[in-house]
């Protein structure tokens, strides 16, 4: 259903797309994100090979899998996801608000500054521990009486060295300003995408400060650990999730050429996330000295989020109802809806695994690793691949060089992550039972080996899909014939 | 509806306030007590911020024509693509 007459909130004369969207910057962000995703996948493969005793460079300190595991997670979160989302924001926010970002110069500055932050983080993680004990570093530290902590910060997903944290924090503030200016100037009731984005700008700034500064400078010991747990979970729920859903609400109606089934229901999803999600992180502290009623509160809030997620899923199913074939025919839509199914599965998994009964079995096992891959790759990366598959032809003005390679990218990525998640989930259950039966540690390691070998091949499939995508992109840019301004994928 | 909301919300708020008071008593300036108090404070701060935003949105008519924005979104996209050079 669509209204025939333009609504009052849309002016009769609207700005040109070219005056709103800086396409070059969108492309730059996407390309930077792909570079970091490639790096992250290679780092993940390196760690996977280490676990099956096939480490190709066992004696190289700088290639130590322990360091590259942190590069793997940080490159995905801050290099791939953040860059790709920033590119997507530069496309969607100006088109939704009909106003350009606050400053184009600021956008370019943020782009450069963000790459500096991510590269410095990688350098700090890889080189920092080696430099830490160098005589000249110790001399400087003694001379100026400062702690020269060059390496990783001891916070999961907050390993950015402490000297980079203030720069990243200021960067997040600048990002918020750059996008909040057009959002605040937009007239009339806001579309749900803008609600999600607006909340994300505030949440991310606060979450980053909480995770990187509170536990480093003010709250130590077990309290710092508690804050760290909140940080990990809020990074997913309050940074990546609102961006992901906001993006889905923007692109799916455009691709289907019909509005979202119920805007009211979408707002229920948004406000449910806003009120229930912040308490969820405490479910990382089950069986800790935290008072039990707070742990139960976190369990209930997490299960409540599952109901919220169900409203969102119902909304998207309602939107595609009657046009199911378009999900198969349109590759971007297929990416979106596949990611949505994975999202529902991860949330269902989450509602189960936060219970005390489940935690007894799966805590510290590979179940958690499988869950993390299903969320980060199976959901958000798949959605971003959908956006890139849709937008790259528009950005470079050419159809995809090879639609078959686009298909290979989809099937290898989807099958790879599905196998990996299932494999690691199963591995986690086995490990949990090995430990619960008080067998020797080595027994659980030996028992995990078939699962870890399977994981290597699943990872190779995902990497293969990525190579197909990058090769297709390069060939599209170099050889495909130019086409009209608007591409249909 | 309002009565039902009050019947649910008032006892819930009282129960929560009582438990939160117990929390504060547990804290009592002890550095280790921050372990208990930090997560709930984070939640309260975030939740309160969004409660204010919710009231602001309601008072500014954001929920009046609740299905309107979804049509505007598509209209706007069509107009932008039509004018795209």
pLDDT higher than 90, residue A302: no
CA A194 from centre of chain = 19
Contact A215, A227 (CB under 8 A): yes
Which is nearest to A195 in space by CA: A90, A310, A273, A251? A273
Query: CA nearest B32 in A: which residue?
Result: A223
Q: In angstroms, rounded to a whole number, what is the distance separating the alpha carbons of residues A257 and A236? A: 30
CA distance B5 to chain A (A): 17
Say which residues have a Cβ less than 8 Å from residue A246's Cβ, sequence separation at least 6.
A92, A192, A193, A194, A195, A196, A197, A200
Per-residue confidence at A177, pLDDT binned at 50, 70, 90?
very high
CA atoms within 13 A on the CB side of A368: 14
A128-160 pLDDT per residue, tens: 877 777 888 888 877 876 666 677 787 888 888
Tell me if chain B has a CB within 8 Å of the CB of A14.
Answer: yes
Which of B15, B45, B67, B71 best tests the A interface by mutation, with the highest count of A CBs <10 A?
B71
CA distances from residue A270 to A174, A278, A289, A304, A374 in whole angstroms, order as listed: 24, 13, 32, 13, 22
Q: In angstroms, rounded to a whole number, what is the distance separating the alpha carbons of residues A76 and A73? A: 5
Which is nearest to A469 in space by CA: A400, A396, A417, A376? A400
Q: In angstroms, rounded to a whole number, what is the distance separating the alpha carbons of residues A240 and A339? A: 14
Q: Which residues of A touch B46 (CB under 8 A)?
A: 203, 206, 278
Instruction: Give the number of residues written for chain A.
Output: 489
Q: In angstroms, rounded to a whole number, what is the distance separating the alpha carbons of residues A357 and A445? A: 24
Q: How far apart are the first and last CA of chain B?
A: 53
- Residue ranges per domain, chain A? 18-187
Q: In angstroms, rounded to a whole number, what is the distance separating the alpha carbons of residues A98 and B73? A: 11
ipTM of the complex: 0.83
Query: CA nearest A301 in B: which residue?
Result: B43
Segments of chain B with pLDDT less than 70 = 1, 26-36, 39, 84-85
Q: How many domains does chain B have?
A: 1
CA distance B4 to chain A (A): 20
Tell me if chain A has a CB within 8 Å of the CB of B58.
Answer: no
Q: Is B39's CB within 8 Å of A291's CB?
A: no
Instruction: Give the number of residues written for chain B.
Output: 85
CATH for the stretch A18-187? 1.20.210.10
Which value, in Å, is the radius of gyration of the alpha carbons in chain A?
Answer: 23
Per-residue confidence at A2, pLDDT binned at 50, 70, 90?
very low
Which is nearest to A89 in space by CA: A243, A273, A260, A253? A243
pLDDT higher than 60, residue A3: no
Say which residues have a Cβ less than 8 Å from residue B58's Cβ, sequence separation at least 6.
none
A76-132 pLDDT per residue, tens: 999 999 999 999 999 999 999 999 999 999 999 999 999 999 999 999 888 887 777
Contact B30, A223 (CB under 8 A): no
Tell me if chain B has a CB within 8 Å of the CB of A486.
Answer: yes
A378-402 pLDDT per residue, tens: 999 999 999 999 999 999 999 999 9
Give me the domain span that covers residue B12. Answer: 2-82
Q: In angstroms, rounded to a whole number, what is the distance separating the alpha carbons of residues A324 and A182? A: 35
Tell me if chain B has a CB within 8 Å of the CB of A326.
Answer: no
Q: Is A191's CB within 8 Å of B72's CB?
A: yes
Of A7, A190, A221, the CB nearest to B71: A7
Q: Which residues of B touch A285 (CB under 8 A)?
A: 39
Residue appearing with tokens 């249909």:
A488
Which value, in Å, is the radius of gyration of the alpha carbons in chain B?
Answer: 22
């Amino acid at each position: 259903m669509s209204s025939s007459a333009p609504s009052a909130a849309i002016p009769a004369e609207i700005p040109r797309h070219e005056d709103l969207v800086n396409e070059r910057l969108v492309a730059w962000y996407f390309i930077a994100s792909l570079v970091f995703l490639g790096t992250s996948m290679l780092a993940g493969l390196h760690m996977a090979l280490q676990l099956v005793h096939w480490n190709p460079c066992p004696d190289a300190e700088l290639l130590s899998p322990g360091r590259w595991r942190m590069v793997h997670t940080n490159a995905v979160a801050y290099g791939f996801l953040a860059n790709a989302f920033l590119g997507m924001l530069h496309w969607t926010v100006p088109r939704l608000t009909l106003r350009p970002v606050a400053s184009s110069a600021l956008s370019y500055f943020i782009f450069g500054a963000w790459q500096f932050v991510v590269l410095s983080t990688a350098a700090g993680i890889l080189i920092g521990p080696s430099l830490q004990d160098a005589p000249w570093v110790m001399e400087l530290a003694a001379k100026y009486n400062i702690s020269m902590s060059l390496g990783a910060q001891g916070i999961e997903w907050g390993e950015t060295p402490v000297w980079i944290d203030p720069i990243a924090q200021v960067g997040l503030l600048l990002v918020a300003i750059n996008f909040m200016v057009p959002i605040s100037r937009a007239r009339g009731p806001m579309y749900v995408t803008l609600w999600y984005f607006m909340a994300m700008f505030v949440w991310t700034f606060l979450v980053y400060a909480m995770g990187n500064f509170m536990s480093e400078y003010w709250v130590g010991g077990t309290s710092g650990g508690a804050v760290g747990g909140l940080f990990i979970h809020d990074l997913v729920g309050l940074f990546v999730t609102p961006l992901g859903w906001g993006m889905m609400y923007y692109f799916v109606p455009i691709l289907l050429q019909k509005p979202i089934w119920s805007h009211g229901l979408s707002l229920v999803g948004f406000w449910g996330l806003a009120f229930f999600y912040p308490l969820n992180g405490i479910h990382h502290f089950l069986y800790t000295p935290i008072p039990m009623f707070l742990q139960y509160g976190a369990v209930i809030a997490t299960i409540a989020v599952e109901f919220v997620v169900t409203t969102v899923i119902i909304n998207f199913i309602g939107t595609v109802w009657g046009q199911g074939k378009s999900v198969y025919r349109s590759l971007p839509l297929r990416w979106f809806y596949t990611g949505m199914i994975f999202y529902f599965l991860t949330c269902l998994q989450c509602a189960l695994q936060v219970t005390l009964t489940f935690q007894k079995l799966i805590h510290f096992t590979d179940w958690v690793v499988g869950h993390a891959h299903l969320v980060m790759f199976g959901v958000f990366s798949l959605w971003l691949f959908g956006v890139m598959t849709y937008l790259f032809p528009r950005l470079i003005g050419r159809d995809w060089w090879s639609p078959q390679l686009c298909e290979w990218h989809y099937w290898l990525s989807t099958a790879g992550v599905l196998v990996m998640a299932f494999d690691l989930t199963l591995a986690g259950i086995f490990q949990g039972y090995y430990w619960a039966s008080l067998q020797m540690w080595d027994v659980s390691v030996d028992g995990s080996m078939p699962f870890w070998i399977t994981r290597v091949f699943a990872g190779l499939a995902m990497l293969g899909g990525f190579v197909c995508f990058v090769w297709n992109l390069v060939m599209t840019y170099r050889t495909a014939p130019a086409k009209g301004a608007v591409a249909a994928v | 509806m309002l009565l039902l909301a009050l019947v649910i919300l008032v006892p819930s708020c009282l129960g929560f306030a009582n438990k939160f008071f117990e929390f504060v008593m547990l804290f009592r300036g002890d550095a280790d007590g921050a372990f208990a108090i930090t997560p709930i404070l984070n939640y309260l701060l975030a939740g309160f911020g969004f409660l204010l935003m919710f009231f602001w949105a309601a008072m500014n008519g954001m929920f009046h024509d609740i299905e309107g924005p979804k049509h505007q979104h598509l209209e706007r996209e069509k107009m932008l693509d039509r004018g795209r050079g």
